[in-house]
Structures are given as C-alpha cells and as structure tokens.
Amino acid sequence: MIFDPAHANIDAVANEPALHQSRLSPDWLRQRFAQPTIWTPEFVVEPELNTDQREPVPAAVLLPMVLRQNQLNLLLTLRTAHLNDHAGQISFPGGRVDAEDTDPVATALRETEEEIGLSRRHIEVIGCLPDYQTGTGFRVTPVAALVHPPFELEADSFEVAEIFEVPMAFLMNGANHQRRSAVLPNRPGRRSFYCMPYEQYFIWGATAAMLRNLYHFLRAD
C-alpha cells in the first residue's frame, strides 16, 4: 500500500497570524539571524522516531529564499520517485555530510550545487536553525540563505524531478499550516504531521516541520 499524505484527515489548521511583511525583508532577516531572540523550536525530532535507532547521520539542507522584485520566494525540489529516502516528496536541496565538508554550511552549499546547479556565488548564507532529526535516521541542519538573481538552475535528473518556488508570505502564514493524521503502512499507531499544500504541491513531513520552526523563529518577539 502506498501512503498518500494528501488524502490524510485534516484535524486542524494552525490559524496563527501571518508574519508581517516587514519581517520578510532581506535586512530584517539578516538582523534576526545575526541577533536571534529567545524562542522555542516546535520540532527537533520526528514524532515516530525510535529511540533505539543507530546514531543519526549528519546532514544539511539549504533554505534558499530568492530575492524576487516584490517578494521572497522559497526554492524547493520535488524528489524523484525511485530514491531510497523521501522519494517523491518535496524537499530542500541538501544531503548527508561528506568527509571533505568543513561544516553544515559547506554541506548545504555543495549539495545545492550538485542537486539543482545553483552556484554558491549567488547564495548569501545568513544563519542556521536548530538541527532536526528525521525518522529515516538523519540529523539535519537547516541553513538559511538569501539567493540573488539572476541565476541558472540545472536539476540532477537522478535526484530531482522538479524545481519550483513558493512565496514566503504563503509559507509564513499560520492559516496555511494544516495538521493532518493518518495510519502509515507498516508502522504502529497514527501519525500526526503538518502540511502546507500550495497549488499542485503538497509540502509535508520534515520539510513542513522545519518551515514551522522557521515560522516560530521569525515571529518571536
């Protein structure tokens, strides 16, 4: 049986206020990451994670916020259907840490260039969010960045089926954050998760959880 999260029950909508537009300006974002206020992440570990798992594999992803003329857009990827981990899901560009990577930022930049062809000369890293541990055994560092057009993209056809953008104003609005639940194949109990459906794209799982953390980080006073 193939699990389709888009058909899971909608239990609730967060309905928290939209982030004020001023907090989606490049200068405000730079300042927030440079001098963060006190806040509490909503997620650090996926709920169904087994405590007896092996040591998680270090990984990093890039949260690439593209500076368009009148708004910020988040660059996301749709993973190909044949991959072992998170196949067919919407993800940030990124992957596991390699031996030559000096830190999570180096991993995120390298993986982004390999996966979607985005050169690091267009990327301005502004900070990191707390690590997030996935149920598939990865400890992921989310690296936030501003992306300066014009740039060219070239998807790695083995890993990436599509590259697309979603307005940050949509993602940073609690009215667009749904809480759903479903019984997953081959797993006991019922799983609850956030999702952020946008047009034909269904953002859920670890990606939605890290976006929820970003939302809390940016709205904290």
CATH code of the region 7-43+54-219:
3.90.79.10
d(CA 17, CA 75): 23
Looking at residue 152, its amino acid is E
Which of 196, 42, 207 is CA-nearest to residue 138? 207
Contact 13, 181 (CB under 8 A): no
For residue 164, the SS3 value is strand
Q: What letter represents residue 107's amino acid? A: T
CA dist., res. 61 & res. 58, Å (int): 11
List the chain domain ranges.
7-43+54-219
Return the closest-CA partner of residue 179 out of 170, 169, 190, 187: 190
Per-residue pLDDT of the chain (221 residues), as tens digits, is 456 788 888 999 999 999 999 999 999 999 999 999 999 999 999 866 555 567 899 999 999 999 999 899 999 999 887 555 444 689 999 999 999 999 999 999 999 999 999 999 999 999 999 999 998 889 999 999 999 999 999 999 898 999 999 999 999 999 999 999 887 666 666 788 999 999 999 999 999 999 999 999 999 99
